[in-house]
Amino acid sequence: MSGPLLQVLGLGVRFGALHAVQDVSFDVQPGAITAVIGPNGAGKSTLFNLISGAIRPGSGSVMLEGRELTGAAPHQMLAAGLARSFQITNLFFELPVRENLRLAAQFLERGQGLLRPLSRSHLAQARVTELIEHFGFAEKIDELAGSLSHGEQRRLEIAVALAARPRLLLLDEPTQGMSHADTRETERLIRGLACQHGLAILLVEHDVDLVMALSDHVIVMHQGRKLAEGTPAAVRANPSVQAAYFGDKHLVGETCSN
Ligand SMILES: Nc1ncnc2c1ncn2[C@@H]1O[C@H](COP(=O)(O)OP(=O)(O)OP(=O)(O)O)[C@@H](O)[C@H]1O
Ligand SMILES: [Mg+2]
């Protein structure tokens, strides 16, 4: 199909008197990495909650592949091809890595009876095997998710979000609290998902260098509104964005083609 994968139009929600997200519109192109940046409290996570169906918009619309999905529940969004990870790690810590992936991959077998033994869930089993390989978890499959390092947990969370084979993945601060080495590893992982597997990724990220290096397109949020959008270079050069956000950061670019 041609045209945008995701279209967000005039999206907004109020929490009492606070307009947490107000009249936000943008598109996400297939296979592109789109970053949402902005100061704390700008409305980034709320925007993700609105898009992914975690909270109902007060106004505006969300369309995926031309299909109207405004106000749909998260499982309906997932069935339509949109998956998300959370700013706070959202794993079953007391279960092994394999079970975390299996429970998520079980979504592929929906309508065929949930929670069957792994041996009878061929679609889910094949997906779990793929993810274990792709994310390098072969040595860790029997370890409890709660015993993994912080970086490994964040990557497992991305794997869990990918289990249902989405076409759009929303990642809320995937490198939060990570070491420099883990951040670089996650950057490589995200770029690989978009460049090699054609997955569209929408991510909230505070690490400006990472955003500049990774993104095809950047959306800047400020006080619930979209302040600017464009290529990393255009956004970086925008005086109002610089005033609101960038300080002295320098542009370091690397995309699929280089
Ligand atoms: N459920 C809620 N009820 C009331 N206010 C909320 C709720 N969720 C978020 N807010 C408020 O909405 C505003 C936007 O919050 P949000 O979490 O979307 O910001 P953010 O850009 O993700 O910030 P951060 O960078 O710190 O994660 C904040 O003022 C926050 O306190
Ligand atoms: Mg947030």
Cα Rg for the chain, rounded, in angstroms? 18
Q: What is the DSSP letter of 144?
A: B
Q: Is the pLDDT of residue 58 over 60?
A: yes
CA nearest 172: which of 21, 82, 47? 47
Determine the Cα–Cα distance for residues 16 and 2; give it in Å rounded to an integer. 39
Asked if 137 and 159 touch (Cβ cutoff 8 Å), the reply is yes
Assess whether the C-beta atom of 211 lies below 6 angstroms from ligand 1.
Answer: no
Assess whether the C-beta atom of 50 lies below 6 angstroms from ligand 1.
Answer: no
C-alpha to C-alpha distances, 225 to 8, 16, 121, 216, 229, nearest whole angstrom: 13, 17, 44, 21, 11
Ligand that lies nearest to the alpha carbon of residue 40, given by its number in the listed order: 1
Residue 46 CA to ligand 1 centre (angstroms) = 6
- For the segment 100-143, what is each residue's pLDDT rounded down to a tens digit? 999 999 888 876 555 555 555 688 899 999 999 989 999 999 99
Largest Cα–Cα separation, the chain: 58
Assess whether the C-beta atom of 241 lies below 6 angstroms from ligand 1.
Answer: no
Q: Could you give phi then psi for residue 201, rounded to 5 degrees?
A: -130, 130
Determine the Cα–Cα distance for residues 122 and 138; give it in Å rounded to an integer. 19
Question: Does pTM surpass 0.85?
Answer: yes
Hey, CA dihedral for 243, 247, 248, 250, is it positive or negative? Answer: negative
C-alpha to C-alpha distances, 58 to 18, 23, 38, 218, 251, nearest whole angstrom: 12, 10, 22, 24, 36
- For the segment 201-242, what is each residue's pLDDT rounded down to a tens digit? 999 998 888 999 999 999 999 999 999 999 999 999 999 888
By most ligand atoms within 8 Å of CB, the mutation choice from 11, 18, 172, 206 for ligand 1 is 18
Provide the pLDDT for residue 253: 42
Enter the tokens of residue 245: 């956000």
Q: How far is CA 107 from the centre of its chain?
A: 18
Determine the Cα–Cα distance for residues 194 and 171; give it in Å rounded to an integer. 13
Residue 63 CA to ligand 1 centre (angstroms) = 23
The CATH T-level fold of domain 1-81+167-258 is Rossmann fold (3.40.50)
Could you state, in order of their start, the residue ranges of all structural domains in the chain? 1-81+167-258, 91-165
